[in-house]
Amino acid sequence: MGVERGPKWGVGRIFVKKIGPYGGSNSEGKWWFCKRADRWNSSNHNRLPPLWAGVRFPAVPRESLVGKQLSGYTLESEVGEGGTSAVFRASHPQHGVVAVKVLREKLRNDKTAVTRFLREARFGERVVHPNVVKTIEIGEATPGMHYLAIEWALGELLEKYARRNGPLAPHVAADIVSQIAAGVQAAHEAGIVHRDLKPENVMFDAASGAVK
């Protein structure tokens, strides 16, 4: 994690950018309002030596899992990432092509992160519906390396499809919304609230019209 100086914001204030653990700006990187150049941000006031402003720290080597075996799943390519996990396209002798979500190495000894990862994974097991990706397996490949294998959804992110093809025809939009609502209803009946429903979290297969 590092910082870099940004443009001035008002008199005596600057932006400080939080750099992700692997360098660059990612889901963990944000601009923070700072009252003073020697403070991290106005909310926690952790000290940051003034000379560090403008310094970018070396990137931490990243764990490489592509090409490796994980409890029978061959991780072929990384297709997504977040602050707590990475998602891979994988193949399995029995299940075929699947998506495998793996808890990040830096969080494997974090009891809170592990508990949250497993809780969210088990929520998925409780919902069985055509418009919700199927949970295939929840496991621990090695101590601390928790993973979740789920159905590989065909198509692309709804956000990308809509951006490229929008505005969508009314009947197409209505069908997409109807399928999303059906999946959400199934989750609600299982006692689960999604809390992060957005086009970036929906897969749409234009060939079949299916939504996951």
Give CA–CA dist 7/31, Å, rounded: 11
- Residue 201 region, left (φ>0) first, then alpha (ψ -120 to 50), else beta? alpha
- Residue 188 C-beta-side C-alpha neighbours within 13 Å: 8
Please state, in angstroms and rounded to a whole number, the distance separating the CA atoms of residues 119 and 72: 23
Fill in the amino acid letter for 59.
A
Q: Does 196 qualify as catalytic in the annotation?
A: yes
In this structure, the number of other CB atoms found within 10 A of the CB of residue 124 comes to 21
Look at the block and give the residue holding tokens 């490796």: 68
Per annotation, catalytic residue among 38, 110, 175, 196: 196
Active centre residues (catalytic): 196
